[in-house]
Amino acid sequence: MSKLLPIEENEQIVGYFFDCPGCGMAHAPYVQPYKNEVGASWTFNGDFDKPTFAPSILAKIERSDGKAMVCHSFVVEGKIQFLGDCTHALAGQTVDIPEQN
C-alpha cells in the first residue's frame, strides 16, 4: 500500500493526496501549479513510503458552525509534524501518514 494517491491532469501527475489524521481531511500538495496556473507548489522527494514535501502545508478550513480550523504541518520522511498553530488535537505532535485504503 502507498501513503499517497496521485493527482493526474492530462495524463501527468501534478500532485498527491494524503489523509490527515489531525483534521480528518485529505491534503493535496501539488508538485506543479494546478491547471498550469501560477500558484503554490511543493517539492517532493519521490518516495511513496516515506514522502517529504516542502515547504509546510497550511490548510484553513471553514467549518459549518462558522469556526475556522487550521491544520499546519511539515511532511518529512513519511511523518506529519503538526505545528503549534493547528486547532486540532494533534497540534505539536508527529504521526505517521496513514496508508491509503
pTM higher than 0.75: yes
pLDDT of amino acid 39: 66
Q: Could you give the dihedral angle defined by the CA atoms of residues 14, 78, 56 and 62, in that order, rounded to the nearest 10 degrees?
A: 80
Q: Residue 2: its pLDDT value, please?
A: 85
The pLDDT profile of the chain, 101 residues, written as one tens digit per residue, is 689 999 998 888 889 999 999 999 999 999 876 665 656 789 999 999 999 999 999 999 887 888 889 999 999 999 999 999 999 999 999 999 999 87
Cβ atoms 36, 23 nearer than 8 A: no
Cα R_g (the chain), whole angstroms: 13
User: Where do the domains of the chain lie?
Assistant: 5-96
